[in-house]
Chain A
Amino acid sequence: DAGITQSPRYKITETGRQVTLMCHQTWSHSYMFWYRQDLGHGLRLIYYSAAADITDKGEVPDGYVVSRSKTENFPLTLESATRSQTSVYFCASRRGPTNTEAFFGQGTRLTVV
């Protein structure tokens, strides 16, 4: 199906483990983003990518790693998960600059125990 999909939808992991959240879009959008959503903080940008092989830090990048070897994929890796990284993570994609619509995935609820 066309669109933007995230996997897994739910994940429980232990402190210190590495975990990767996947994001795939079928529109060939240039821009892709990772946000985390926490009560009281809204949506905070973790990392973004303007094109394949180009990534940049957002507001809260510490503890996260991204890569973008292909236009359609933008995985987010937590190198050593901490309880403070318990959150709902959203991937988004956009065709061009900010004045074009961003499309969000369904989210991944990550719990670090």
Chain B
Amino acid sequence: QQQVKQSPQSLIVQKGGISIINCAYENTAFDYFPWYQQFPGKGPALLIAIRPDVSEKKEGRFTISFNKSAKQFSLHIMDSQPGDSATYFCAASESSGDKLTFGTGTRLAVRP
């Protein structure tokens, strides 16, 4: 039973384009939604996170959009760069809980 569904599995974007990765969750108790970025040969690292009291959070070129009623959230990478090529994981949890539930990951390739 997958509690966080992530799509697409892979994504190819031209330099300067917008990359969009989508996630959907089922557990309405989830109230913390982070995104992790993983470069080849490295462990994942926190990129950006959002709570459901806001519909959008922006940090530089990275934006999380959150739709509580639809139980969906997405990561938008504006002006995508080759250095953004990585695997991106969405995750969800109860903020006072112990465990993060991760999506299956999206491998992003940004072409020069």
**Contacts from A to B (Cβ < 8 Å):** 31, 35, 40-45, 48, 50, 56, 58, 90, 92, 97-99, 101-107
Kindly state the separation between the CA atoms of A58 and B3 in the bound complex, as whole angstroms: 14
**Which residues does chain B contribute within 8 Å of A35, judged by CB atoms?**
102
Out of B45, B89, B93, B96, which one reaches A42, CB within 8 Å?
A: B89
Known contacts A40-B104, A98-B32, A99-B32; decide if A45 and B43 are in contact (CB<8 Å). Answer: no
B39 CB to nearest A CB, Å: 11
By the criterion CB–CB under 8 Å, are B42 and A97 in contact? no
The B63-112 residues at the A interface (CB cut-off 8 A) are 89, 93-100, 102-105
Main secondary structure of the interface of B (DSSP, over half): loop
Known contacts A42-B105, A43-B89, A98-B32; decide if A107 and B99 are in contact (CB<8 Å). Answer: no
By the criterion CB–CB under 8 Å, are B6 and A98 in contact? no
**Which residues does chain B contribute within 8 Å of A101, judged by CB atoms?**
46
By the criterion CB–CB under 8 Å, are B43 and A42 in contact? no
By the criterion CB–CB under 8 Å, are A42 and B46 in contact? no
**Which residues does chain B contribute within 8 Å of A99, judged by CB atoms?**
32, 49, 51, 93, 95-96
B54 CB to nearest A CB, Å: 14
Main secondary structure of the interface of A (DSSP, over half): strand
What 7 A-B pairs are tightest by C-beta distance, nearest first? A104-B43, A98-B93, A42-B104, A99-B95, A43-B102, A42-B105, A101-B46
B52 within 8 A of A: no
By the criterion CB–CB under 8 Å, are B94 and A104 in contact? no
Known contacts A98-B94, A98-B99; decide if A104 and B104 are in contact (CB<8 Å). Answer: no
Kindly state the separation between the CA atoms of A102 and B38 in the bound complex, as whole angstroms: 13
Q: What residue of chain A has the Cβ atom nearest to residue B3's Cβ?
A: A59
Kindly state the separation between the CA atoms of A44 and B97 in the bound complex, as whole angstroms: 17
